[in-house]
Structure 1
Amino acid sequence: MTPAGRLQAAIDLLAALDAAPRRPADAIATDFFRGRRYIGSGDRRAVSELAWGAIRQRLRLDWHLARIGTPPTPRLVLAAHLLLAEGWTLQKLGGHFTGDRFAPSPLSPEEVSALRRLSGAKLVDPEMPEGPRLNLPDWALPGLRARFGEKLAAEAAAMEAEAPLDLRANLLRTSRESARLALSGEDIAATPTPLSPWGLRIPERKPVTGTAAFKEGLIEVQDEGSQLIALLTDARPGMRVADYCAGAAGKTLALAAAMDNRGHIVACDVSAARLEGAGRRLRRAGVSNAERHLLEPGDKWRKRRGRSFDRVLVDAPCTGSGTWRRNPDARLRTNATDLAELSAKQAVILEEASELVRPGGRLVYATCSLLPEEDEMQIERFLGRHPDFVMRPVPALWAELCPAVVCPVEGEALALSPARHGTDGFFAAVLERRP
C-alpha cells in the first residue's frame, strides 16, 4: 500500500469504530482486516498504528475540534492527530489527501479551514480542562482523584504509555528460565518480571502466538498484575477451587499450574462462547484438573455446591479502567451509567460466589479497575453484610507466598497501578470465611 492508501484504510477503520462505539476496538479491527485480506502484515501494522494513535489521543482531539466548532469526522480526527501529535504540516497532509487511487479524497475547503485553525496548536493545550489534559474521561476523574491524589498526573501519563507484553511461563510444561530460552531461540528476548515468580516481559509487542513456545503451551499471554491475583488466591494441590468469572480462563490456567494439576477447578462463566475458547486454552496448556460450567438462569449448581470450595476467585466484570494503556478505546466506550450498573452487578456476583466458600476457605475478589467504587467500596459493603468473613491482609500473605520479593503494597488489599508498579491497574482483596 502507498502511504496515502494506508491513511485511507486508517480513516475507514476509524469510521468502523465510530459506527459501533460500544464494541471493543480490537474486535472491530479483527473483523476489519479479515474483510480486507489484501492488506499485508506490514501495511496492517502501519494502518493500526495510525488508527490507534488517534484513538489514544481522541479525548484531546475531540476537545480541539469542538473548540473550533468542527464535527469530529474520521478524516478530521486522523488529520488533526497527524498535525498535532505527529508533527505533520498542512502541506504534507495535502500531499496525501490527493484523491488518487486508494488515497483519501482532497481536503474540502471546510476541512482545510479547520486544520489551518489547528495548525501551530499544542496537543496538550494549557486551556484544556483536567479531563482532556490528563487524557481521562470526566466521569472517572472523581474516583481516580480519590485513588491517586497528587499522583494522578503521573498515573495518567503512565496510562498513556504503550504497555509491555507480559507472559506467564506454564509450570505444567516448563520452567520460567526454560520458557525464556525457548523464546530466545525464536529471536524474542524476554526478561523475568520483577514481581511475579512466573512472569516474563517483552518490552514491545511481538507476535508470540505464532511461536513454537506458545503453540506447545509453554507460555500464556497474561499481565503481571493478573498473575499476582492468581498467586494471592493461593490455590494448592488437592484443593477444590472455583474461578467464578473465568472468561477465557487466563487465571484458571495459572491456578491449575499452581496446583500442579492436582485437585479440582471449576471454571464458571455466563458465556458459552468464552468457555468454548477456554477449553482450547486448557488443552494447549495441558490442564487436566479443570472442568467448565455455564452459569444459566435457574441453575441450581451453586446451591448444590454451597460451602464446598477451598478457594473461590471472582474476577468481576468492571470498567477496565486499569487496562486503558492497553485498551485506549475503553476510556471512550464506558461512562458513569456503566460504572453504576457494573457496581451493582459486582455486588450480586460477590454475594453469589460467597455461597460457595467453605468455612475456613477464602474468597478472592478482583477487578482490573482503578476506581474505588468497584474495589474497596465493594469490599467494605460486603464485609458490612457478612460478619462471617474477615479480610486477610495482602502483605502477610505475600510474605508466605513470595518471600524472595518485597511486597508491592502496604495496605490490606492489592492495588496495583501502571506508574507505581509497571503493571495494568488491578485490585484484589482476600476474604476468609470464619471456621
Structure 2
Amino acid sequence: MTPSARVAAAIALLGALEDQCFAPGARRRPADAVAADFFRDRRFIGGGDRRAVAEMAWGVVRQRLRLDWHLSRIGMAATPRLLVLARMLLDGDKSGAGDDHGRTRQAAEAVFDGTHYGPPVLDAGERRAAAALAGRPLVDRAMPDGPRLNLPDWVLPSFRQRFGDALAAEAAALEGDAPVDLRANLLKTDRGRAAALLAGEGIGSTPTPFSPWGLRLPARRPITGAAAYREGLVEVQDEGSQLIALLADARPGMRVADYCAGAAGKTLAMAATMGNRGKITACDTSAARLEGAAKRLKRAGVDNAERHLLEPGDRWAKRRAGSFDRVLVDAPCTGTGTWRRNPDARLRTQPADLAELVAVQHDILVRAAELVRPGGRLIYATCSLLPEENEAQMDRFLAQAAGFAPVPLDGLWGALLPGVAAPCAGPWLSLSPGAQGTDGFFCAVLERAA
C-alpha cells in the first residue's frame, strides 16, 4: 500500500471504532474485535501494511484524550481524519505512513494531499488545523490533569486516593508497553526447563521477580507458534494474575471452584499447584468462554477440571453449598489495571459502568461465599486499580458477612514463599504497573470460620 492508502485505511478503521466502541449509544465492543472484523473484510491488506495501519489507528486510540483536547482548543471536531493528522503532527509519524519523514507539517500534508500517490486530500479546514497544530507538544502544560496524565476525568479522584503523590508515575507506567509474561506449566515442566526450551527456539526470557513460575520475554513477540506453547509447557499469563493463583493456595486433593473462570487462565494455574489431584470446577456465564477454556485445559494436560455454565435458575450452587476448600472470584471489573494492554478501555468505560460493576461484584461475592466450606477460603480478585472495586468491596462484604476473616498478605506470602519479600505491604495484594511492573491487580483472601 502507498503511504496515503495506509492513511485512508487507518481513517476507515477509526471510523469503525468510533461507531462501534466510543460513540454515544455505541455497542462499546472491544476495539480488538472491531479491528479483527475490519481486516477480515480486507484480506487484500498484507501483513506489513496491516501492522502499519493498526499502529496508526492504535496510536490515535492511545492518545485520544490528548488529541481531543488539542482539537477542541482550536475549535475542531475530532473526526477520524483530523485525529490521524493530529497524531502525526503531535506524536510523530511512527507508523511508516509518512515514509519516515517525521512529524513536520509538510510531511503530514504531503501524505494527505497525495504527494505520496493519491488521496485523501486535506480540505481548507483541515489545512487550518494542521497549521495550528504543527510544532506543538503532545503533552501541553496548559492541559488539565485528565489529558495531561492520559486518564479519563472520572477516574482521577479514585486514582488520587489510590496513588497519592505517585499518581503521575503510575499514569506514565499505565501508558507504557506491557511485557509478555509466561507461566511454566508445573504439570509438564518447571521454570528452568521451560526457559531452556524457549531459548532453544531462540526465545530469551528472564524469571519474573515475584512469581515462582513466571518468565518474562524481553520484547513483545508471537509465542503461540513456539513448540513450548503448542505442547502446553507454558501459558501466556501476566505475573500479577499468576500471583492471584499462588495466593489461592490450591493443594492436591482439594475441591476448588473458579467462579468467574473466563478463559480459565487461573484454573490452569491452580490445577498445576494441585498436581492434577482433587477437583477444580471452572464456572462462567459464557458458554463460548468455557468452550475456549476446554482447549486450553486439554493442551495443558489438566484432567482434574470440569466446566459448569452458570445460568438463571441454576441450582448447582445450592446443591454444593459449603463444599469447596477454595473459591476464587476473579470478578468482572472496569479493567483499569490493564489499560496499557487495552487502551480503548480508557474511552469505552464510563462512570455508570463502575456503579453497575460494584453492585455485580458484591452480588457475586455473596453467592460465591455460600460455596466455601467451614475452614475454607474465599479469594476475591480484580484487575482494577479503583478502591471502589477493591478495598471498599472488602469493607462492605466483611461488614455484612458473618464468619469470614481476612488472611493477611504477609503471613500468607511467608508461608507460601519463605524468605521471599512480598511485592507490597498491607493486608491485601495490591499491584500496579508503576510499583511492581505487573498489570494492576487486587487480591484479598478471606477464611471462613471452622
Q: TM-score range by the shorter chain?
A: over 0.9
Q: Which residue of 1 aligns with 2:16?
A: 16
Residue 3, structure 1, aligned to residue 3, structure 2: yes
Contact 1:7/1:103 (CA < 8 Å) preserved in 2? no
Q: How many residues are matched?
A: 435
Q: Residue 389 of structure 2 aligns to which amino acid in structure 1?
A: E
Asked if the contact 1:56/1:328 (under 8 Å) is kept, the reply is yes
2:280 touches 2:306 (CA, 8 Å); kept in 1? yes
Quick one: distance in 2 between partners of 1:160 and 1:99? Answer: 33
Q: 1:134 aligns with which of 129, 149, 153?
A: 149
Partner of 1:336: 351
Structure 1, gaps ≥5 residues long: none
Instruction: Deviation per CA, 1:400-429: give whole Å up to 9, x if none.
Output: 112242101110000001010000000000
- Please say if 1:44 is aligned against 2:50: yes
Distance 1:267 1:100 in 2: 57
Q: Find the partner of 2:31 among 9, 25, 41.
A: 25
Distance of aligned partners of 1:110 and 1:278 in 2 relative to their CA distance in 1, 3 Å threshold? same
What's the counterpart of residue 146 of structure 1? Answer: 161
Which structure 2 segments of 5+ residues have no match? 22-27, 93-101
Q: Note if contact 2:4-2:114 (Cα within 8 Å) is conserved in structure 1.
A: no
- 1:39 is displaced (CA, Å) by 2.1
User: What corresponds to 2:24 in structure 1?
Assistant: none
How far 1:171 sits from its partner (Å)?
1.1
Residues 400-411 of structure 1: pairs in structure 2 closer than 5 A: 400-411=415-426
Q: Give the whole-Å Cα distance in 2 for the aligned partners of 1:393 and 1:423.
A: 21
- Percent of residue pairs identical: 66
Distance apart, 1:142 and its partner CA? 0.9
Is the 2:2–2:116 contact (alpha carbons within 8 Å) kept by the matching residues of 1?
Answer: no
Give 1:220's match in structure 2, choosing from 209, 214, 235: 235
Question: Are 2:71 and 1:56 aligned?
Answer: no
Structure 2: which amino acid aligns with 1:74?
A: P
Query: Given that residues 3 and 116 in structure 2 are in contact (C-alpha distance below 8 angstroms), is that contact kept between their aligned partners in structure 1?
Result: no
Structure 1 CA distance, aligned partners of 2:208 and 2:419?
A: 13
**Structure 1, 15-24 or 223-232: larger mean CA deviation:** 15-24
CA contact (8 A) 1:8 1:103 kept: no
Structure 2 matches for 1:416-431, cutoff 5 A? Answer: 416-431=431-446
CA distance in 2, matches of 1:104, 1:360: 69
TM-superposed CA distance for 1:54, in Å, is 1.2
Offset of residue 103 of structure 1: 5.0
How far 1:13 moved relative to its partner? 1.5
Q: Give the distance between the partners of 2:277 and 2:107, measured in 1 at CA.
A: 62
- Distance, in Å, in 1 between the alignment partners of 2:165 and 2:30 is 31
Give the CA RMSD over aligned residues: 1.3
Pair 104,19 (structure 1): closer, same or farther in 2 beyond 3 Å: farther
| Residue 368 (structure 1) aligns with | 383
1:306-385 maps to which residues of 2 (within 5 A)?
306-385=321-400
Q: Does 1:72 align with 2:78?
A: yes
Deviation at 1:182, TM superposition (A): 1.8
After the TM superposition, which of the residue ranges 197-206 and 132-141 deviates more from structure 2?
197-206
1:280 to 295, 302, 318: 295
How many Å separate the matches in 1 of 2:409 and 2:75? 51
Match of 2:263 in 1: 248
Distance (Å, rounded) in 2 between the aligned partners of 1:8 and 1:181: 45
Tell me, in whole angstroms, the C-alpha distance in 1 between the residues paired with 2:150 and 2:426.
28
Query: Any conservation in 1 of the 2:4–2:120 contact (CA below 8 Å)?
Result: no
Aligned partner of residue 438 in structure 2, secondary structure: coil
Residue 305 in 1 paired to residue 311 in 2? Answer: no
TM-superposed CA distance for 1:124, in Å, is 0.8
SS of match in other structure, 2:312: coil
Identify if the C-alpha distance between structure 1 residues 282 and 104 changes in structure 2 by more than 3 Å, giving closer, same or farther: farther
Give a deviation string over 1:201-241, Cα, whole Å, max 9, x none. 11321110121111111111110000000000000010000
Alpha-carbon offset, residue 68 of structure 1: 1.2
The residue type paired with residue 199 of structure 1 is: G
